[in-house]
């Protein structure tokens, strides 16, 4: 889900930087108020761990594939939203700088898409209400804690990934990078990330439950006292929040449905999509596209495709532009090659001089 | 799990590259950071059909590669992560945008094809620029530059500490996955039954470790901010380099230089 | 230099770790702290450094170990961790050695002069600009000691300084320790090393001082050592039973 620099217009990138900057500023202020410099190395080690943990393959039972960890919800559950957000920023920055995963310009957008939702939305909308709720109260404090962690991890990951995926689509579309219609783009991204979010949620909850069972004091908002849950949030409010979540996710999906108003776009997308999914090695069934629609699209394509009537109109000026552009580009290429050659030449000379000395 | 050892190798490789010496390495980190950002912004802001104008931007990375002596090969290795995504988005353009934009020897090239190539070039160029930044600048120098830009100390210190600890963590994960694999031959990844405990164990150990680390820092008088290693001075030359680079980028962005150049000959 | 008076400490769970512990260490003494796992060796060090709260009186160089004195106390004490990785978090040995002096307000030149002096005293000059993640375990241990010496502490505390070192590196560390003139408190299970580096030994058992006296005496007392889950140092134990 890492956005690349090339997929963003500078204005969009700057906006996302500003948004991330505000969220980071608020987080830092909150952390300072808590005088939690104690947390600094814990944050560093936790983010280093998540970074390393992202490289582990988790076999998904029943399938041949494996899942990975993203980490937003995991860090939130361990460090709280503010510290978790800052840790995620750092992880994303290191990925962008050292692994070319994402980009410098896209960093703001990536932080927003992956860290902000995972940490703040995930915490305040899901983690905190669920952890403080009386849910599963009948099954004993320990079991209830476990179930609540599982519920909020999975819900949190699914919701925040949906939001993140939607943001990727919005940002790319606003940037005017892709010709892909908005609705079709959403239709690809959301279901894929539904699956990814589920797997990530399962991994996150597995790790957090393990920590809860061994060192419950490390989990945010966990009930460590062992006695009755001091509930700030009744079952009713929890249900209301869950309803909101369902509405948001459902809304996102229904947006997809209404996002393909005319069959043409949708089916063209289907056609193009088959190539896309082959390239990406994705599961075609994830976003089922009816083949009949694709067939019609193919015929429409043939009719509307290459060399329309006005093919050679204005060909003089167009050709002129093309030629001088090509010649200029060729000169640039020659210049680049010359620089490479000169650089190599000087280095060799330098080496020889060094060898002599 | 190959990608773990690959990652630690990549880290070490970048460390070694940034420890080399060249005119680019010696530049003030803040200048390099700003020039890189200016370059990426200019590259990314090219209109989607302005392929020939974008082409001239290749000169900056080529020049810096040569001046710094960073092998180009190390960079192309990193393209594997970003390119698929950019291509996935870009490859669709030819299917949606079919209006012919230009003609090469009577052959129509649709706007989609041009915008696809432009997009891919943008991806490659901006990646090369940030790669060159980090390959010629140590993380300490970069953090010092960030502090100069008034990025909060908490965030910068966190970045530096995390960076330090990633290599330790990757090492531990590598040992653990090896130990796992030796007792679980033929498994591609970590089985669901140990999803929680595998990373959880490491996490618990790491938390204790974080505490010890923090104590060791406190015992040596740490008050929340590092003293960054000495940075090269911000000379007039460095400032001039920055200004000239930025001016050239803007010039290239405003005028289609290859086009103008070609007009001279055609 | 270091004084413990009726010091008690227990974990939150209530398990007592130290009980009415009393001992004092004079300036310039080299003291070995020995005892079974869980006897309280690390706890003593952490209490000295103000990392754990305790009951009773602890003073370092005449200063009580209290919150308002912590800065001063910690400046007097150098603590060499068992795990050098947790200590060496800067990229190069040089930067790690500069860390404490710079934090204590020395100028760059003063700090650098100190670093160079310590490195040459320990014969580590060639390590100066090496990366911490690229030096061997033995070099790392020596570098960790150098890092602490660059603080110029009045007393040095060491937690297992000889573990996981090959015999040559272990010998190098022992020689380095013997070259130091400040007060030394060394916690270890490596009794041979204690014998080689310390004049006096404090034997801990269940959070109390079980024996306190000259190293040569206590480390020869087979019955005492065996009662505390330890054995005679190899150099005093005679031939191995298999040989």
Distance CA B228, CA B231 (A): 8
Pairing, β C183-187 against β C30-35: parallel
Which chain B residue shows the shortest CA-CA distance from A60? B192
Distance CA C178, CA C161 (A): 13
Residue among C47, C92, C133 with most chain B CBs within 10 A, to mutate: C133
Nearest neighbour of C103 by CB, restricted to B139, B140, B223: B223
| CA A165 and chain centroid, separation | 6
**Does the distance separating the beta carbons of C79 and B219 come in below 8 Å?**
yes
Q: Is residue B196 part of a domain?
A: yes
Residue B38: CB atoms within 10 A of its CB come to: 19
Q: Is residue B242 part of a domain?
A: yes
Residues B108 and B32 in one domain: yes
Element (H, E) at A301: helix A291-304
Contacts of B168 in chain A (CB under 8 A): 48
Q: How many domains does chain B have?
A: 2
Contacts of B34 in chain A (CB under 8 A): none
Q: Is the pLDDT of residue C197 over 90?
A: yes
Taking the domains of chain A in order of start, what are their residue ranges? 5-261
Q: How far is C211 from chain B (nearest CA, A)?
A: 30
Check: CB of residue C137 under 8 Å from CB of residue C162: no
Nearest neighbour of B157 by CB, restricted to A40, A91, A208: A40
Domains of chain C, each with CATH number or no CATH: 2-230 (3.40.50.300)
Q: Distances from the Cα of B107 to the Cαs of A305, A312, B101, B104, in angstroms?
A: 14, 10, 11, 5
Q: Extract the tokens encoding C102.
A: 């710079």
As a whole number, mean pLDDT of residues C142-166 equals 92
| CA A308 and chain centroid, separation | 40
The three-point CA angle C181-C186-C190 to 5° equals 125
Distance CA B72, CA A298 (A): 42
pLDDT of C117: 94
Of the ranges A172-181, A292-301, C33-42, the best mean pLDDT one: C33-42
Distance CA A305, CA A302 (A): 5
pLDDT of A233: 45
Nearest neighbour of B219 by CB, restricted to C49, C95, C131: C49
Residues B47 and B131 in one domain: yes
Residues B127 and B157 in one domain: no
Going by C-beta distance under 8 Å and a sequence separation of 6 or more, which residues neighbour residue B226?
A: B143, B157, B160, C99
The least confident of A246-250, B202-206, B221-225 is: A246-250
**In this predicted model, what pLDDT tens digit does every residue of A70-113 receive, in sequence order?**
788 899 988 889 999 999 999 999 888 888 788 889 999 999 99
Residue C221: CB atoms within 10 A of its CB come to: 14
As a whole number, mean pLDDT of residues A243-261 equals 49
**Does the distance separating the beta carbons of A78 and B92 come in below 8 Å?**
no
Its domain, for residue B174, covers 153-218
Q: Is the pLDDT of residue A54 over 50?
A: yes
Residues B204 and B251 in one domain: no
Residues of C at the B interface, defined by Cβ within 8 angstroms: 49, 51, 71, 74-75, 77, 79, 81, 83, 85-87, 89-91, 95, 98-100, 102-104, 108, 131, 133, 147, 151
**Does the distance separating the beta carbons of A340 and B204 come in below 8 Å?**
no
As to burial, measured by CB atoms within 10 angstroms (0-12 exposed, 13-18 middle, 19+ buried), residue A187 is: buried
Q: Is residue B225 part of a domain?
A: no
> Which chains would you list as touching C if contact means 3+ CB atom pairs under 8 Å?
B
Q: Is the pLDDT of residue B229 over 80?
A: no
Contacts of B158 in chain A (CB under 8 A): 40, 43-44, 47, 86-87, 90
**Does the distance separating the beta carbons of B93 and A179 come in below 8 Å?**
yes
Q: How far is A277 from chain B (nearest CA, A)?
A: 9
Distance CA C170, CA C164 (A): 9
Q: How confident is the model at residue A230 (pLDDT cuts 50, 70, 90)?
A: very low
Q: Is residue B9 part of a domain?
A: no
The least confident of A107-111, A308-312, C29-33 is: A308-312
Residues B27 and B120 in one domain: yes
pLDDT of A307: 30
The ipTM of this complex is 0.86
Comparing CA positions, the residue from A129, A158, A132, A159 lying closest to residue A145 is A132
Q: Is residue B227 part of a domain?
A: no
**What CATH number was assigned to the domain covering residues A5-261?**
1.10.1760.20
Comparing CA positions, the residue from A282, A187, A82, A179 lying closest to residue B98 is A179
Going by C-beta distance under 8 Å and a sequence separation of 6 or more, which residues neighbour residue A140?
A: none
């Amino acid at each position: 889900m890492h956005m690349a620099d090339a997929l963003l217009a500078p204005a969009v990138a700057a906006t996302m930087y500003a948004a991330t900057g505000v969220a980071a500023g608020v987080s830092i202020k909150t952390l300072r108020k808590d005088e939690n410099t104690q947390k600094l190395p814990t944050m560093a080690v936790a983010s280093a761990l998540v970074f390393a943990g992202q490289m582990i393959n988790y076999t998904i039972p029943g399938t041949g594939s494996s899942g990975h960890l993203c980490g937003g919800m995991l860090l939130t559950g361990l460090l709280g939203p503010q510290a978790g957000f800052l840790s995620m920023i750092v992880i994303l920055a290191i990925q962008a700088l050292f692994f070319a995963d994402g980009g410098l310009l896209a960093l703001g957008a990536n932080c927003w898409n992956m860290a902000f939702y995972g940490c703040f939305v995930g915490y305040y909308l899901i983690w905190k209400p669920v952890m403080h709720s009386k849910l599963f109260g009948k099954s004993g404090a320990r079991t209830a804690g476990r179930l609540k962690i599982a519920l909020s991890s999975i819900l949190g990951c699914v919701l925040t990934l949906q939001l993140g995926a939607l943001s990727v689509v919005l940002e790319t579309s606003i940037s005017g990078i892709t010709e892909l219609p908005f609705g079709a783009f959403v239709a690809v991204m959301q279901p894929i990330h539904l699956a990814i979010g589920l797997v990530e949620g399962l991994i996150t909850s597995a790790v957090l439950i393990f920590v809860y069972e061994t060192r419950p004091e490390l989990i945010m908002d966990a009930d460590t006292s062992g006695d009755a849950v001091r509930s700030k949030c009744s079952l009713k409010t929890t249900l209301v929040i869950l309803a909101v979540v369902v509405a948001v996710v459902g809304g996102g999906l229904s947006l997809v449905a209404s996002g393909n108003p005319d069959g043409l776009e949708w089916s063209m997308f289907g056609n193009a999509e088959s190539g896309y999914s082959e390239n990406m090695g994705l599961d075609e069934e994830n976003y089922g596209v009816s083949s009949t629609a694709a067939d019609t699209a193919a015929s429409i394509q043939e009719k509307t495709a290459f060399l329309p009537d006005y093919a050679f109109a204005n060909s003089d000026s167009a050709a002129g532009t093309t030629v001088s552009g090509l010649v200029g580009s060729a000169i640039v290429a020659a210049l680049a090659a010359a620089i490479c050659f000169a650089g190599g030449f000087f280095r060799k000379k330098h080496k020889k001089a060094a060898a002599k000395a | 799990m190959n990608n773990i050892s690959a990652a630690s190798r990549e880290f070490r490789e970048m460390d070694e590259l940034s420890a080399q010496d060249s005119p680019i390495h010696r530049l003030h980190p803040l200048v390099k950071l700003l020039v890189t950002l200016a370059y990426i912004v200019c590259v990314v802001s090219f209109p989607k059909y302005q392929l020939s104008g974008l082409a001239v931007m290749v000169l900056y990375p080529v020049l810096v590669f040569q001046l710094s002596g960073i092998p180009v090969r190390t960079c192309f290795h990193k393209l594997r992560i970003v390119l698929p995504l950019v291509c996935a988005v870009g490859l669709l353009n030819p299917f949606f945008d079919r209006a012919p934009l230009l003609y090469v020897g009577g052959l129509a090239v649709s706007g989609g094809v041009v915008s696809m190539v432009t997009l891919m070039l943008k991806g490659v160029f901006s990646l090369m620029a940030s790669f060159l930044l980090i390959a010629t600048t140590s993380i300490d120098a970069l953090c010092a530059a960030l502090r100069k830009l008034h990025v909060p100390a908490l965030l910068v210190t966190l970045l530096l500490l995390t960076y330090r600890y990633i290599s330790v963590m990757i090492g531990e994960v590598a040992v653990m996955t090896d130990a796992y694999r030796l007792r679980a031959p033929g498994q591609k990844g970590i089985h669901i039954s140990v999803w929680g405990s595998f990373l959880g164990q490491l996490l618990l150990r790491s938390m204790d470790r974080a505490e010890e680390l923090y104590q060791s820092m406190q015992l040596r008088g740490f008050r929340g901010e590092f003293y960054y290693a000495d940075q090269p001075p911000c000379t007039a030359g460095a400032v001039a380099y920055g200004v000239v680079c930025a001016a050239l980028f803007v010039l290239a962005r405003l005028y289609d230089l290859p086009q103008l150049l070609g007009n001279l000959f055609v | 230099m270091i004084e413990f008076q009726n010091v008690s400490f227990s974990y939150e769970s209530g398990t007592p770790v130290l009980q009415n512990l009393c001992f004092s260490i004079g300036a310039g003494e080299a003291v070995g702290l020995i005892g079974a796992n869980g006897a309280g060796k690390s706890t003593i060090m952490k209490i000295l450094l103000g990392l754990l709260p305790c009951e009773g009186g602890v003073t370092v160089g005449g200063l009580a170990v209290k919150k308002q004195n912590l800065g001063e106390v910690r400046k007097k004490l150098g603590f060499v961790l068992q795990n050098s990785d947790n200590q060496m978090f800067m990229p190069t040995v040089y930067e790690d050695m500069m860390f404490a002096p710079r934090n204590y307000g020395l100028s760059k030149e003063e700090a650098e002069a100190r670093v160079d002096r310590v490195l040459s005293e320990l014969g580590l000059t060639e390590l100066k600009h090496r990366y911490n993640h690229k030096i061997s375990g033995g070099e790392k241990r020596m570098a960790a000691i150098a890092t602490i010496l660059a603080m110029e502490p009045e007393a040095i505390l060491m937690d297992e300084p000889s573990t996981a070192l090959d015999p040559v590196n272990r010998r190098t560390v022992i020689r380095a320790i013997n070259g130091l003139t400040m007060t030394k408190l060394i916690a270890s299970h490596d009794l041979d090393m204690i014998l080689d580096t310390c004049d006096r030994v404090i034997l801990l058992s269940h959070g109390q001082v079980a024996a306190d006296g000259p190293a040569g005496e206590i480390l020869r007392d087979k019955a005492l050592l065996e009662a505390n889950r330890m054995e005679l140092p190899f150099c005093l134990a005679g031939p191995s039973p298999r040989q």
